Amino acid sequence: MRKDDPCIGVCQWDGRTGWCLGCGRTVPEIRAWRKMTPYRKAALARELPRRVRQVAVAQVEAEPGRTPSRS
């Protein structure tokens, strides 16, 4: 893992979104990371925390026996 790489070594994917559960990127984004411009990396890096939170919330809400929240 490189300093500018958002990978945290989890590398498991959400089947619904295709996002990595650790860093929030898709496989194509991971493959393209090294060739991305600094601008594109920064734009994607700003998006990743939201993705990771969204997947985490969806997983919790999908737990058996859990009643859906009314948001």
pLDDT digit string, tens, across residues 5-57? 999 999 999 999 999 999 999 999 999 999 999 999 999 999 999 999 999 99
**2 — pLDDT class (breaks 50, 70, 90):** low
pLDDT value for 65 = 72
DSSP sequence for 14-41: -TTT--BTTT---HHHHHHGGGS-HHHH
Domain boundaries, the chain: 1-58
Q: How far is CA 45 from its chain centroid? A: 10
pLDDT: is 1 or 40 the higher one? Answer: 40
Regarding predicted confidence, which is higher, 56 or 70?
A: 56
Alpha carbon dihedral 39, 44, 50, 56, in 10-degree steps, equals -150
